[in-house]
Amino acid sequence: MIPDSQKENHPLLFEQGAPGMCAVTLPMLDVPTTDKKTALPAEMLRSTPPALPEIGELDIVRHYKRLSHRCFSVDENFYPLGSCTMKYNPRINERVAAMPGFAHVHPYQLESDVQGILELLYRLRCDLAEIAGLAEVTLQPAAGAHGEMTGLMIIEAYHASRGERRSKVLAPDSAHGTNPASCACCGMSSVSVASMPDGRVDLDDLRRKVDEHTAAMMITNPNTVGVFDDQIVEIAEIVHAHGALLYLDGANMDAILGIARPGDFGVDVMHYNTHKTFSTPHGGGGPGAGPVAVAEHLVNFLPKPQVIQHEDGSFGWDYHRHDSIGIVRSFYGQIGVLVRAYAYIRSIGRDGLRDVAEKAVLNANYLASRLKHRFKIPFPPPFAHEFILVPEFESAGITEHDIAKRLIDYGIHPPTMSWPIHHCLMIEPTETESLATLDRFVEAMLDIADEIENDPSLVKTAPHTMPIKRLDEVAANRNLQVRWQQSS
Ligand SMILES: Cc1ncc(COP(=O)(O)O)c(C=O)c1O
């Protein structure tokens, strides 16, 4: 008989254990249960106890250990997820973040007791401003998307301070979905600007659409098709000529770190995604960090409190910023993530940052040049940190989806799919991968292309090596069952 642990769907915790089994030993109750002050009112008591699993500690440990082996992580294998950047998080960052002086501080501690972490945050905000070529940074936002929202609130406050209400935001058609979503969160409307066949912004379309109602242009540069738009200075001039501001979605900063500074090419506001650029954990829209950098004319609108250095050299929080948009995150931001970002910046230094960008770009271009003979690459090189590839195997009935699933059998995480153009794979190797890993990926892609020619059904039905095989993803999304339900 196959043991449960080897089955595809091994039992849920609720389906394991036996009455009376328990993983904890609770101390004896030392308060009276009948005391009127402490006892729960009768109407709030359940008539039957909740149906919780009764299971021993070892079985719980094995259950979660088994599940953890089903997770795919960048620590285990190549994860070329374009735009969502899964790069290795160096262990030194984890060690630093776990130091008790950082890990155990409490937001309500006196400033005088937490000078160390305050100094770190102050230094981090100065480093991020320097890297951006902008005046000042807030560390409060908890994700890139949250940074976008914060940046738009700052832009709105800026226009309001000039007696203007502007609510139109321009964004190229390759923009990440969070850009229009952030506009909607701020009560602004997003208007799409066309891209040219080479992936850069169509300046004629931009000129047609920008006007005195435009609050800002939100641009990602390099953009989501991996192209650095070298018209960026002209774009900034066009936008500024109409009194609007230029917002940079800095998600792809890892491609230009130490090479170009957004402030120098006309950007007024930008956010970083620390997970994409400074190797911190991501956390699905938070709890990550999305620090926002602004130019001098926007500094007064930054969220408060701001971490500052006093004249006597000590560090503290500044709550007295009258034009501030207010608080966008409880307490001071996602401190553990910020500590990791600081550790990363300091451990690799100025030259290391530039090296990150050069290697990220080199790796992406290496992959593109090795794959271009077998797969269509619709945008012209050179690429920045990622590139788009369109598999053309319709005659064999194979889509990008099938290739992504087959890659799982080769131990490689599927790249981003079907965005920002139809039927594409978006591949981002990051600077952290070795040549051997990149070559292994190329071999896997070429092998899959051979398989499509020889036996397309093998690819069409992949993955074959996983505990869960090909899912009907539409059904899985429409009929989500993520919670155990007691059978009646
Ligand atoms: C281009 C771009 N903008 C914005 C975001 C949103 O960032 P976050 O997931 O940190 O909210 C992402 C995602 O990583 C992105 O790739």
- Side by side, the strands of the sheet bearing 245-250 are 136-138, 292-294, 269-272, 245-250, 214-220, 168-172, 189-193
Residue 284, pLDDT above cutoff 70? no
Give the C-alpha separation, 307 to 251, whole Å: 24
Domain limits, the chain: 1-70, 91-347, 357-476
Contact call for residues 190 and 204 (beta carbons, < 8 A): no
Q: What is the bridge-based pairing of β-strands 168-172 and 189-193?
A: parallel
Nearest Cα residue to atom 9 of ligand 1: 285
Residue 328 Cα to ligand 1 midpoint, Å, equals 18
Query: In testing the pocket of ligand 1, which one of 218, 273, 278, 419 has its CB within 8 Å of the most ligand atoms?
Result: 273
Q: What is the bridge-based pairing of β-strands 214-220 and 245-250?
A: parallel
Contact call for residues 179 and 170 (beta carbons, < 8 A): no
Give the C-alpha separation, 359 to 155, whole Å: 34
Residue 144 Cα to ligand 1 midpoint, Å, equals 5
List residues bridging with 214 in a β-sheet. Answer: 168
Query: In testing the pocket of ligand 1, which one of 149, 178, 334 has its CB within 8 Å of the most ligand atoms?
Result: 178
- The tokens for 453 are 């020619």
Give the C-alpha separation, 380 to 255, whole Å: 17
Chain segment 220-279, per-residue pLDDT in tens? 999 999 999 999 999 999 999 999 999 999 999 999 999 999 999 999 999 999 999 999
Domain 91-347 and domain 357-476 have a common topology = no
Give the C-alpha separation, 22 to 34, whole Å: 26
Superfamily of domain 357-476: Aspartate Aminotransferase, domain 1 (3.90.1150.10)
Q: State the pLDDT at residue 286.
A: 56
Nearest Cα residue to atom 7 of ligand 1: 144
State the chain's mean pLDDT as an integer. 94
Q: Which atom of ligand 1 is nearest to the CA of 147?
A: 11
- The tokens for 365 are 């271009």
Give the C-alpha separation, 467 to 278, whole Å: 34
Q: State the pLDDT at residue 59.
A: 95
Q: What band does 467 get if pLDDT is binned at 50, 70 and 90?
A: confident
- Which residues line the pocket of ligand 1, CB cutoff 6 A? 83-84, 143-145, 176, 178, 220, 224, 249, 251, 273, 276, 285, 288, 290
Q: Which of 238, 199, 203 is nearest to 220 (CA)?
A: 199
Segment 83-98 shows an average pLDDT of 93
What does the CA dihedral 252, 253, 259, 260 come to, rounded to 10 degrees?
Answer: 90
Residue 146 Cα to ligand 1 midpoint, Å, equals 9
Q: Which of 58, 51, 65 is nearest to 23 (CA)?
A: 58
- The tokens for 2 are 């196959």
Q: Under 8 Å CB-to-CB from 272, ≥6 apart: which residues? A: 128, 132, 144, 147, 250, 253, 278, 289, 290, 291, 293
Q: State the pLDDT at residue 478.
A: 93
Residue 450 Cα to ligand 1 midpoint, Å, equals 34
Chain segment 154-210, per-residue pLDDT in tens? 999 999 999 999 999 999 999 999 999 999 999 999 999 999 999 999 999 999 999
Contact call for residues 441 and 398 (beta carbons, < 8 A): no
Q: Under 8 Å CB-to-CB from 392, ≥6 apart: which residues? A: 375, 376
Q: Which atom of ligand 1 is nearest to the CA of 220?
A: 1
Amino acid, single-letter form, for residue 71:
C
List residues bridging with 82 in a β-sheet. Answer: none
- The tokens for 298 are 């926007």
Query: In testing the pocket of ligand 1, which one of 79, 81, 83 has its CB within 8 Å of the most ligand atoms?
Result: 83
Q: State the pLDDT at residue 4.
A: 52
The arrangement of secondary structure in 91-347, i.e. its CATH architecture, is 3-Layer(aba) Sandwich (3.40)
Q: State the pLDDT at residue 177.
A: 95
In degrees rounded to 5, what are phi and psi of residue 164? -120, 145
